[in-house]
């Protein structure tokens, strides 16, 4: 399988299927380095801060596209 034919988000859920041919190896190394250098307590603090920011943002309403264009 060619790297440009793989949807990593779907196909690699249980691990990379391309191995050394993966176009995202740079990100894998960055993630491994982050995990190795960051304590679990620090990761939890980062996650809590991200959640706090998300919860304090104003609500964004999303309306389904019903085919009606504005002004009609």
For 21-41, write each residue's pLDDT tens digit.
888 888 888 999 999 999 999
Angle (CA) 39-41-46 rounded to 5° is 95
For residues 17 and 11, the answer to whether their CB atoms sit within 8 Å is: yes
Q: Please state the separation of Cα 15 from the chain's center in Å.
A: 15
pLDDT of residue 60: 82
Angle (CA) 35-39-40 rounded to 5° is 90
Residue 46 has pLDDT above 90, yes or no: yes
Residues sharing a CB contact under 8 Å with residue 21, sequence separation 6 or more, in sequence order:
3
Residue 71 has pLDDT above 80, yes or no: no
């Amino acid at each position: 399988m060619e790297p440009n034919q793989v949807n990593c988000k779907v196909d690699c859920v249980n691990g990379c299927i391309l191995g050394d041919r993966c176009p995202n190896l740079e990100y894998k190394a960055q993630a491994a380095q982050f995990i190795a250098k960051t304590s679990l307590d620090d990761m939890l603090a980062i996650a809590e801060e991200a959640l706090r920011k998300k919860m304090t943002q104003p609500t964004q309403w999303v309306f389904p596209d019903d085919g009606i264009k504005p002004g009609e």
